[in-house]
Amino acid sequence: MNIFKKNYINGQWSDALSQKTYKVNNPATQEFIADVVDSGKEDAEKAVQSAHAALAGWSAVPPKEKANILKAWFNLIMENQEALAALMTSECGKPLVESRGEVVYGASFVEWNAEEAKRISGMTLPATAANKRLMTIRQGVGVCTAITPWNFPLAMITRKCAPAIAAGCTVVVKPAESTPLTALALAGLAAQAGIPEGVFNVVTASSGAEVGEVLSTHPFVRKISFTGSTAVGKILLKQAAGTVKRVSMELGGNAPFIVFDDADIDAAVTGAMASKFRNTGQTCVCANRFYVHESVASEFAEKLSKRVSQLVIGDGSKEGVDQGPLINIAAIDKVDSLVTDALQKGAKCLTGGKRHDLGGSFYEPTVLLNVTPQMSISQNEIFGPVVSIVTFSSQEEVIDLANDTVYGLAAYFYTRDLSRAINVSEQLEYGMVGINDGVISTEIAPFGGVKESGLGREGGQTGIDEFLETKYICISEV
Pick the closer one to ligand NAP by CB: 28 or 236: 236
Distance CA 174, CA 205 (A): 7
> 412 vs 151, 264, 408, 438, CA distance in Å?
21, 14, 12, 7
CB of 39 to ligand NAP, least distance (A): 10
Pick the closer one to ligand NAP by CB: 151 or 323: 151
Distance CA 15, CA 48 (A): 16
CB of 445 to ligand NAP, least distance (A): 13
Residues that bind ligand NAP (CB under 6 A): 147-152, 174, 176-177, 205, 208-209, 212, 227-229, 232, 235-236, 250-253, 284, 381, 409, 449, 454
Asked if 474 is an active-site residue, the reply is no
Give counts: helices (H), strands (E), the chain. 15, 20
Q: Which amino acid, residue 409?
A: L
CB neighbour list of residue 60: distance below 8 Å, 6 or more residues apart: none
Q: Report the DSSP beta bridge partners of residue 256.
A: 289
Where do the H-state alpha helices sit in 262-391?
265-277, 297-309, 329-344, 376-379
Pick the closer one to ligand NAP by CB: 72 or 162: 162
Burial per residue of 223-234, b for 16 or more beta-carbon CB atoms within 10 angstroms, e otherwise: bbbbbbebebbe
Note whether 278 and 385 are within 8 A (CB): no
Pick the closer one to ligand NAP by CB: 279 or 351: 279
Active-site entry in 92, 144, 161, 284:
284
Note whether 353 and 347 are within 8 A (CB): no
Judged on CB neighbours under 10 Å (0-12, 13-18, 19+), 7 is: buried
CB of 153 to ligand NAP, least distance (A): 10
CB of 381 to ligand NAP, least distance (A): 5
Pick the closer one to ligand NAP by CB: 6 or 345: 6
CB of 449 to ligand NAP, least distance (A): 6
Q: How, if at all, do strands 432-435 and 32-37 pair? A: unpaired
Report the residue number whose CB is nearest to ligand NAP: 212
Asked if 284 is an active-site residue, the reply is yes
Helix (H) or strand (E) holding 121: none
CB of 93 to ligand NAP, least distance (A): 13
**Strands, DSSP E only, in 236-299?**
246-250, 255-259, 287-293
Count CB atoms within 10 A of the CB of residue 376.
14
CB of 461 to ligand NAP, least distance (A): 18
Pick the closer one to ligand NAP by CB: 388 or 395: 388
Pick the closer one to ligand NAP by CB: 142 or 281: 281
Residues labelled catalytic: 250, 284
